A and B are shown apart, each in its own frame.
Chain A
Amino acid sequence: MSAALLDVTDLKKHYPLKGGLLGGTTGYVYAVDGVSFQIARAETLSLVGESGCGKSTVGKAVLRLFDITSGQVVLDGKRIDDLSTGALRAVRRRVQVVFQDPFSSLNPRMRVRDILAEPIRNFGLAKDGRDLEARVAALMDKVRLPRDAVNRWPHEFSGGQRQRIGIARALAAEPDLIVCDEAVSALDVSVKAQIVNLLQDLQQELGLALLFISHDLAIVEHMTHRVAVMYLGKIVEVAPKRSLFAAPKHPYTEALLSAVPVPMPGKARERILLKGDVPSPINPPKGCRFHTRCPYAFDRCRAEEPRLNHVATALDPGHVAACHLHDLPAAENPLAVAKGAALVAA
């Protein structure tokens, strides 16, 4: 996979738990526990999963906002997880981020011009003052905000407009990859559509790769190329979008799809209600991490952890899932048939 822009191998991030009599480490939160994936240039990979599954932690590891516990993050053939602070600067320019909350991710004491100029100056991208101004103006055009708005303050903008500023700031550094951490989740439906369309246009125009972290499966399906589903610190399934939505090959993905409310009243759907809550990442279940809530779990699931293996689908060869069901004969495997359509309403 040398062609991949980003190559993450067996990424782990464990947070120590302090406490006990002597204030020592009493355990770990296994936030991300062995995650591997690749993103090609100009590709969108979505990370989906519920709160606490570790999807944001993966995003932060890619941005190197902290040191990872183990594993490798390779950007364009170069390892970035062990770089020193100085050597990181060049990498930071190439990987940028758009955060979820446009109200807290912009400095309220900086005008839009300064917010956008900061990364340009920081990475020495502008030749002179005039070039800087031109770059700022071009960024405003790219995110479809009026050029004269550069003199205004963040509080003068609506949520959707602020998210545009956040995107412009990410673009200012001319990155190859943007991590969008729930970048449209906080926005209203009608504004969400505007930002989703903008991100898609920018990706095509600039050839950006996106790591799109979201819990909203409908948005993900709309804008991604591939999807990786996370559960309790692990990736349980990765597939090209159409293959995943047509024929999910992990019971968790199947339940997740069936749980999304669909705006089509009266449509009959197959509904898989999961019991209980997600277990704690401090003490994840042995064997398959999903076995405590899985409707199909059998003895092997409680004992042995399944690995991500290729599963045969009619649609695509790049479909992998971590589930023991696929070792069973097809007649006994409830996931052998493609029932995506029945799950999301025919």
Chain B
Amino acid sequence: MALLEVENLQTHFRTPDGINRAVDGVTFHVNAGETVAIVGESGCGKSVTSMSILRLIPEPPGKIAGAIRFQGRDLLTLSDREMRAIRGNEISMIFQEPMTSLNPVLTVGRQIGETLRLHQGLSARQAEEKAVEMLTLVGIPEPRRRVREYPHQLSGGMRQRVMIAIALACNPKLLIADEPTTALDVTIQAQILELMRDLKRRVGAAIVLITHDLGVVAEVAERVIVMYAGRKVEEAAVGPLFNHPKHPYTQGLLGSMPKLGSSLHGDEGRLAEIPGLVPSLKQKIPGCVFAGRCPQVTDLCHKVAPALEEKAPGHVAACHYALKDEALAA
């Protein structure tokens, strides 16, 4: 059994001008100790998916349907109290903006200790001891001094380390990281990614990494889910996804990225463009969500939504025309 099984997740929001289908039928699983990346552009529903797993979506106006099974229990059927016992304990989350997600009036020690006192019943002193330990784990120098400091006294990279320390304090089985390095500079990003890789080896938590940065995905993920307009359009292990993308959207996304080192090989031609815009999520889309921008579109695409189909072993894509590998086609 997978650690996390998300089945036909639908998160819709009621808005004055209609229902916004932010996530519209997404199914995936995460195995224990695995790193799965969810990638896509703004508005594709990747963050809403992660917030839905922890039930952080306000209801109403939001509405979550489907099933989210964590270790076999459906999180959508739990009471608020049961849910609180899971958040920050068995599943924890790292947010994008470390400045706004830390409390500016509490010391970082208090904030790391809070989850420990709440979930593990540690005393204030024990919690502080453990907070020092966590700061050491995430590589903050002088942890004894830092534990009594406030967020504004730390740099952006250090704040993100504190966020990671808070998230890992209770030894969660699943860590959801929503754009954990997007707000950071590249040299600091490299440090944080290295830290996440290292911690994963040591702590063994499964990670769901939400990002728009395909470079980050290639560096840390084992399996990748590509989302577009609220739906999953492709899923594969990281190597096949980057080397043999099956869905035209994934192909377009990879083609539109300039590659570092392009001037060395002299391949500085024009970037591939994906024409047009993401469709509005307020209308029900009967066909393929990518039909309006797809270079290979046909009438069929506008009428019938393609099912997710295995195109190669362990590689699924939702496209009528993506070719199957010979082994599967035979």
Are the CB atoms of A266 and B239 closer together than 8 Å? yes
Q: Counting CB contacts under 8 A, is A42 at the interface?
A: no
Tell yes or no: B190 within 8 A of A by CB. yes
Give the residues from 167 to 209 in chain B that come closer than 8 angstroms, CB to CB, to chain A. 185-191, 193-194
Asked if A283 is an interface residue, CB under 8 A from chain B, the answer is no
- Kindly specify which of B12-20, B45-53, B211-219, B300-308 makes contact with the partner chain: B211-219
Stretch at the interface among B68-76, B85-93, B258-266: B258-266
Contact string, A259-300, partner B, CB cutoff 8 A, digits 1/0? 111111110000101100110000000000000000000000
Cβ–Cβ contact A261 & B193, under 8 A = yes
A196 vs B188: C-alpha distance when bound (angstroms): 26
Separation in Å of the A196 CB from the closest CB of chain B?
6
Residues from 175 to 200 in A contacting B, C-beta threshold 8 Å: 188-194, 196-197, 200
Interface bits A93-118 vs B (CB < 8 Å: 1, else 0)? 00000000000000000000000000
Q: Is A341 an interface residue (CB 8 A)?
A: yes
Q: Among B108-116, B272-280, B313-321, which stretch is in contact with chain A? A: B272-280
- Is B257 interfacial (CB 8 A cutoff)? yes
Q: Is B270 interfacial (CB-CB < 8 Å)?
A: yes
Separation of A340 and B214 alpha carbons in the complex (Å):
21
Asked whether, in the complex, the Cβ of A260 is within 8 Å of the Cβ of B215, the reply is yes
Give the one of A194, A258, A263 with max B CB within 10 A. Answer: A263
Residue numbers in A under 8 Å from B42 (CB-CB) = 159, 188
Q: Which of A193, A260, A265 has the largest count of B CB atoms less than 10 A from its CB? A: A265
Tell me if B264 and A245 are in contact (CB < 8 A): yes
CB distance from B273 to the nearest CB of A (A): 5
**Residues of chain A contacted by B272 (CB below 8 angstroms):** 193
CA A252 – CA B253 in complex, angstroms? 30
* A50, B271: Cβ atoms closer than 8 Å: no
What CA separation (Å) do A263 and B42 show in the bound complex?
19
Whether B187 contacts A261 by the Cβ 8 Å rule is no
Verify B274–A190 contact, CB threshold 8 A.
yes
Smallest CB gap from A263: residue in B: B214
Q: Chain A residues near B213 (CB, 8 Å)? A: 261
Proximity bits, B268-300, A CB within 8 Å = 1, else 0: 101111110100000000000000000000000
Instruction: Decide yes or no whether B38 CB sits under 8 A from chain A.
Output: no
A217 CB within 8 Å of chain B:
yes
Contact flag A265-B239 (CB < 8 Å), given A193-B272, A273-B194: yes
- A246 interface residue, CB < 8 Å from B? yes
Which A residues lie within 8 Å of B187 (CB)?
50, 255-256, 259, 274
Cβ of B155 within 8 Å of any chain A Cβ, yes or no, is yes
Q: Which of A196, A261, A344 contacts B271 (CB 8 A)?
A: A196
Docked Cα-Cα span, A278 to B191, in Å, equals 13
Interface residues of B in 46-81 (CB under 8 A from A): none
Measured CA separation A217–B217 after assembly (Å): 17
Tell me the dominant secondary structure on chain A's binding face: helix
Q: Are B242 and A263 in contact (CB under 8 A)?
A: yes
Task: List CB contacts (< 8 Å) of A189-223 with chain B.
Answer: 189-194, 196-197, 200, 215, 217-219, 221-223
Q: In the bound complex, do residue A262 and residue B274 qualify as a contact, i.e. CB atoms below 8 Å apart?
A: no
Asked if A189 meets B253 with Cβ closer than 8 Å, knowing A245-B263, A255-B187, A263-B259, the reply is yes
Among B41, B216, B257, chain A packs the most CB atoms within 10 A around the CB of B257
CB distance from A261 to the nearest CB of B (A): 3
Interfacial chain A residues near B217, Cβ < 8 Å: 263
* B157 in contact with A277 (CB, 8 Å): yes
Is A189's CB under 8 angstroms from B260's CB?
A: no
Alpha-carbon separation in the docked complex, A5 to B26 (Å): 54
Report which of A50, A189, A345 forms a contact with B185, defined as CB distance below 8 A: A50
Query: Is A249 an interface residue when CB atoms closer than 8 A count as contact?
Result: no
Q: In the docked arrangement, what's the CA distance between A246 and B263, Å?
A: 8
CB distance from A306 to the nearest CB of B (A): 20
* In the complex, per-residue mask of A228-263: 1 if CB is within 8 Å of any chain B CB, else 0: 000000000000011001100000000111111111
For residue A51, CB closer than 8 A to chain B, the reply is yes
Query: What are 22 contact pairs spanning A and B, CB under 8 A?
Result: A50-B186, A50-B188, A193-B272, A197-B270, A197-B271, A218-B215, A218-B257, A218-B258, A218-B259, A221-B268, A222-B271, A246-B263, A255-B187, A260-B186, A262-B259, A263-B218, A264-B242, A266-B238, A266-B239, A340-B264, A341-B261, A341-B264
- Given contacts A257-B260, A262-B260, A263-B242, could you give 20 more A-B pairs where the C-beta distance is less than 8 Å? A51-B185, A189-B41, A189-B212, A190-B41, A190-B252, A190-B253, A193-B258, A193-B273, A196-B271, A218-B258, A221-B263, A241-B263, A256-B187, A259-B189, A261-B190, A261-B219, A262-B215, A277-B188, A340-B264, A341-B264
Sorted from nearest, which 3 A-B pairs have the closest CB atoms?
A261-B215, A193-B256, A222-B258
